Amino acid sequence: VDNISRFCTRRRKNLKLKMIKLATLVVLTVVYTALSLVSSTSIMVPVKTVDVNGTKKCAFFNTTISHEAERSYTQPCVRISCNASTAEVTLLGCPAPPNTWIYLDNSQNEYPKCCSKKGNLTN
């Protein structure tokens, strides 16, 4: 009877552990899917770097962008961030992030305002 009781206890613990793992997997899948649906489109592009007063900057769109700085544009509707260390810029385009606070400090129609809140380009 003792062996059967120990076996049943172990079996219950294993079943609980499997259920916890399954629940965790389901939650992670839902979170990943949700993030995938609302994330903006981003592309990394190799660029030339230039030295301006001893500081490396990315040269892109006929302008220079400081290392780890961002610039927002209306045409095309993108935000560009520079990584001069790797000589790459990241282009962040529509759909705009779903956070409404990003629209408050943007008096012009640059990214993300040039995207509609539904994630499409505005006309």
User: Please, which residues have CB within 8 angstroms of residue 75's CB and are 6 or more apart in sequence?
Assistant: 114
- The CA distance from 111 to 74, in Å, is 6
| One-letter amino acid for residue 105 of the chain | D
Q: What is the pLDDT of residues 47-77, one digit of tens each?
A: 999 999 999 999 988 889 999 999 988 877 8
95: closest CA among 79, 116, 110? 116
**Where are the domains positioned within the chain?**
1-38, 40-123
pLDDT digit string (tens) for 22-53? 777 777 666 655 555 555 567 888 999 999 99
